[in-house]
Amino acid sequence: MASLSQAETASSQVVADRWTAYSITVWAICMLGFAFDIYEGTIMQLATPLLIKEWGIAPATIGNITTVSRWVGLIGVFIFPTLADLYGRRSILVLTILGYSLLTGLTGFAQGPLQLLIELDPERAPAGAAF
């Protein structure tokens, strides 16, 4: 029984050491990135009817654009964690936040569906890294 209590003590010590101020900061930054990703998706859903009307395109066209961008985001889920292991998590996290911010801003300048597709897809790859 003594070894069981020692194991429990060691386990609780590992859990207590796991959450530091640094890890909480990293967690908060990742959650903010996730919140911005959800916000961007919501804005896109709200803007979709306006884009269809303004550009005179079929709803299926916007559906294809958003579907392709989600697939690109899925590819980013596999690529960016591997890059983080190779080059460091901090530098890749900074790169993904910067890339996501800049590329999301570019989507506001899209003049048509093709430009939206070109600007939206690279923006989704760094967003996939947040997961």
Write the pLDDT tens digit of every residue in 76-93. 888 888 888 899 888 888
Q: What is the pLDDT of residue 55?
A: 93
Whether 124 contacts 70, CB under 8 Å: yes
Domain-embedded: residue 35: yes
Residue 46 burial (CB count, 10 A)? 9
Q: What is the pLDDT of residue 50?
A: 93
> At 35, is the pLDDT very low, low, confident or very high (cuts 50, 70, 90)?
confident
Domain-embedded: residue 8: no
Number of domains in the chain: 1
Domain-embedded: residue 59: yes
Domain-embedded: residue 89: yes
Nearest to 131, CA basis, from 91, 75, 86? 75
Instruction: Give the domain extent around 80.
Output: 23-128
Q: What's the rounded Cα separation, in Å, for the pair 24 and 18? A: 10
Domain-embedded: residue 39: yes
> At 13, is the pLDDT very low, low, confident or very high (cuts 50, 70, 90)?
low
> pTM of the entire structure?
0.66
Q: Which residues have C-beta within 8 Å of that of residue 34, sequence separation ≥ 6?
A: 130, 131
Domain-embedded: residue 14: no
Q: What percent of the chain has pLDDT over 90?
A: 18
Domain-embedded: residue 1: no
> At 59, is the pLDDT very low, low, confident or very high (cuts 50, 70, 90)?
very high
Domain-embedded: residue 98: yes
